[in-house]
Structure 1
Amino acid sequence: MTDQRYTELGQLGADTPLPNTPEEAVLERVANPCDAPYMIRFVCPEFTSICPVTGAPDFAHMVIDYVPRDWIVESKSLKLFMGAFRNHGAFHEACTTMIGQRLVKELDPQWLRIGGYWYPRGGIPIDVFFATGEAPAGVWVPDQGVPPYRGRG
């Protein structure tokens, strides 16, 4: 028996191919099941995109934290959205902020932050952070838990 609240989800439970671009990806959402403030965390430790100049692959560990208002993101659609960056050419800053801004647009959360912890390119790691402001009072927001890149140093 299918729960009627989820009949509008087109990707969950379906054979859904990876979108060609992040812009084509459909982020689906469902009603927030909780009326108390709480935080949701998604971790994508194998995020990939490509350099817009050289076409070389770039790799990052992404951590997305948000406090929902009325909506939460459906996780399969988020996985497909994140996977759509695989052949997307953009600098680290553009990829990280694009993800955060798209989630804000689709979900209208009380608060959102994303940490993009990029692995070194040319010997220099780049960490990119985006947030919509301060976390709401009373919500437990743990550290993202990603240490600075040290290599062999």
Structure 2
Amino acid sequence: MTDDLSRAGLQLGQPTPLPRSPEEARLDRVPNPHPDTDYLARFTVPEFTSLCPVTGQPDFATLVIDYVPDRWLVESKSLKLYLTSFRNEGAFHEDCTVKIGKRLVALLEPRWLRIGGYWYPRGGIPIDVFWQTGEPRQGVWLPDQGVPAYRAR
């Protein structure tokens, strides 16, 4: 299996250094084994971090990424490496959240995608950021993202 993965050029199954920035990070995709079926795939990232672009202090969030795949799925190791690359990235909460959503849409061309960025307070104010590609697919079960409104999460 590892030989098949390395021939496919995937990072999965290979020693992979951490990317220094989101721009350097490579996202891999794999064929969807059920392209004829509408279903929801979810990634929950409870320990996302980036840096405040003004102070350089760390910012923390829970990200929830939901998408209805078409031909492609995001390969999870590459997604983890991409998201980890934000640990050295100075960006506002809104920029991080929307940038991740747009990058996934460009890679996957999903039928639908939404991302919720549930950021912990900075200066006493939590900032939650939500972005999606349009109306959800009819007939696809969209569970609540499961992150409560801020009340000392």
8 Å Cα contact 1:6-1:30 kept in structure 2: no
Separation of aligned partners in 1, 2:75 and 2:143: 22
Once superposed, what is the RMSD of the aligned Cα atoms? 1.6
Q: Which moved more, 1:24-33 or 1:3-12?
A: 3-12
Local SS of the residue matching 1:95 = helix
Distance 1:149 1:66 in 2: 24
Please give the TM-score of this superposition, normalised by the length of structure 1: 0.95
Structure 2 distance, partners of 1:68, 1:9, is 21
**C-alpha contact 1:47 1:60 (8 A) present in aligned 2:** yes
Q: What TM-score does the superposition give when structure 2 sets the normalisation length?
A: 0.95
Matched ranges for 1:12-23 at <5 A? 12-23=12-23
Runs of 4+ in structure 1 deviating by more than 2 angstroms, as ranges, are: 1-7
- In 2, Cα distance between equivalents of 1:110 and 1:5: 26
- Per-residue displacement from partner, 1:72-118 (whole Å, max 9, x unpaired)? 00000000000000010000000000000000000000000000000
Give the % identical residues: 68
Are 2:108 and 1:135 aligned?
no
Q: Structure 2: 5+ residue runs without aligned partners?
A: none
Q: Superposed, which structure 2 residues align to 1:30-69 within 5 Å?
A: 30-34=30-34, 35-69=36-70
> What number of residue pairs does the alignment pair up?
152
- Aligned runs of 1:4-153 on 2, under 5 Å? 4=4, 7-34=7-34, 35-151=36-152
One-letter identity of the residue aligned with 2:89: H
- Deviation, structure 1 residue 58: 0.2
